[in-house]
Amino acid sequence: MMGKSHFIISTGLTVSLMTMAGVPVTSAAVVAAAVSSLLPDIDEPNSILVSKTLSEPILRILQTIMLASVVWILWKGLFGMPWDIGIAVAIVFVAFLPTRSLRKVVMFLIGVGIIIYGREIAPWNYMGGSLLIICTFLPHRGLTHTIYGTAAWTALLYGTTAHLGSSIWIAGGTSYLLHLLADSLTNRGVRLLPPLKWKLRFNLMSTGTKKGSAVENVCIILTLIIAGIVFLPKLTG
């Protein structure tokens, strides 16, 4: 399913379900639902969440910084020969990787940074950073599209935001799970409990096809209808 469809369906249904269940829908909870609606696709470097966060302009800036660092290393002789040349060649190689691969490298480094510099939220920084690092090596719809990934993200939100109430972690966990359920409509389905080979798959659509677009549009319309039923009485009452 396309990212924009995940965003509308998971976010819309999450805030609707929370409202029906009497869980406060705060602005932070809406943000958590919106991010979580796209988060399972973090294992795909060209997904909406990753490509918008690490957009082309940002990657160009990073490439410029890396090339400037090469000049700096060679000029200052920071590590001594032949280390300077070796490090410079490695940086140049990374700088000119294809966009998809460069995003994976940056994601890996961000994960390392979270582990090292996020000690004030330990042990959650180790969980979040490790998941980000692992995602750079996973195929699409790997660990992030499982019950384990859902539980880990919900636990991370709970551990870091529970003192603010239950809205944020409930919104994030629900929206994340709804993303997986939406992907179960596709012909690929989702393997929720690896190493078990069982897949949740309804085989109703293939992403990127006309039939797939039609199914996605129907799901979006149903989401909007449910949201209307839930929120219109509140707005008009």
Q: Are the beta carbons of 211 and 205 closer than 8 angstroms?
A: yes
Top-confidence range, 11-15, 47-51, 127-131: 11-15
Count structural domains, the chain. Answer: 2
What are the CA-CA distances from residue 35 to residues 130, 199, 209 (Å)? 19, 25, 25
- Does 4 map to a domain? yes
53 and 71 part of one domain: yes
Q: How far apart are CA 3 and CA 140, in angstroms?
A: 14
Q: What is the pTM of this model?
A: 0.86
44: left (phi over 0), alpha (psi -120 to 50) or beta: beta
- Does 151 map to a domain? no
* Each residue's pLDDT tens digit, 58-108: 999 999 999 999 999 998 888 888 888 999 999 999 999 999 999 999 999
* Residue-range definition of the domain harbouring residue 210: 1-44+167-237
- Does 152 map to a domain? no
Q: How far apart are CA 170 and CA 172, in angstroms?
A: 6
76 and 106 part of one domain: yes
